[in-house]
Amino acid sequence: MLDFSRFEILTFDCYGTLINWEEGILGCLHRILAAHRMNKDTDDATILKLYGDFEARAEAGEYRPYREVLQSVVRQFGERLGFTPTVEEVRSLPESLRNWKPWPDTVAALNLLRSRFRLAVISNVDDDLFATTQPQLGVKFDQVITAQQAGAYKPSLKIFELALSRIGIPAKRILHVGQSIYHDVIPAQSLGLATVWVNRPSPRAGVGAVKSAKGRADLEVSSLADLAAASAGETSGRNSSATIL
């Protein structure tokens, strides 16, 4: 069990962990696939797997803005499934991000955690896109570190190293919280941060809309509410033996 008294600041992945991005992703992609009559044989778990693979491919190599990454994801769906998305459809996925909503427990849990810790965000996103999400989260973060600022996407260590330099305290005093083993748990641990895996419900259980990877967090919870309770000693949580295959 984690000793929460050792931590001064909690850093959070945003999309997937604080925001129910799968609902937003699926809603947008279902509309595009239906317009091209590709939705009947493409279930949610398959869409999320393709999304995770396509996003990772688009984020590899030379940095480009997240808005362009999301546009590339739409184009890759067309290439894989044999249709040509319209200009409006290509733009619709990044434009939909402003409407992606927090998980029902996010705001209350963040406010509880805010009373005990400093809070920060480390997110694979553009600054202007996060600015549309920030008001929905209900707290003021001490630091917001984005892929745009780092010029790199998680799991690159560059974004975590930027966060460490901005936060300015030893890694052992930081707890990183994320929904993705691939993007968050593995790279954060490599720099000496303790980690929490938020195993959110998903049609693609245990993985979600990200690339799969093997890893083990220090603690696994099913929600931010569980994390807030564990930090207050109200529940035990569970030491994570999670392995994503």
Residues 93 and 71: their CA atoms lie apart, in Å, by: 7
Q: What pLDDT does residue 146 have?
A: 98
Which candidate, 102, 130, 121, places its Cα nearest to that of 21?
Answer: 102
CATH number of 21-99: 1.10.150.750
CA separation, residue 51 to residues 80, 132, 159, 188, 238 (Å): 11, 22, 22, 23, 29
Digit-coded pLDDT (tens) for 154-212? 999 999 999 999 999 999 999 999 999 999 999 999 999 999 999 999 999 988 889 88
Each domain of the chain, given as residue ranges in start order, spans 4-20+101-231, 21-99
Average pLDDT rounded to a whole number, residues 212-237: 88
Give pLDDT tens digits for 126-145. 999 999 999 999 999 999 99
**Cα–Cα dist 191/11, whole Å:** 14
Catalytic residues: 13
Domain 4-20+101-231, classified CATH 3.50.50.60, yes or no: no
Q: Where are the alpha helices (DSSP H) in 17-65?
A: 21-35, 44-59
pTM of structure: 0.92
For the chain, give the mean pLDDT.
Answer: 93
Looking at residues 68-91, what average pLDDT do you find? 97
What 8-state DSSP symbol labels residue 100?
P
Would the pLDDT of 242 be above 80?
A: no
Strand partners, 118: 9
- The confidence score (pLDDT) of residue 243 equals 37
Polymer length in residues for the chain: 245
Dist CA 243 CA 245 (whole Å): 6
**Structure token pair of residue 169:** 């305290």
Structure tokens at 115: 């009373």
Tokens linked to 49 = 């797997």
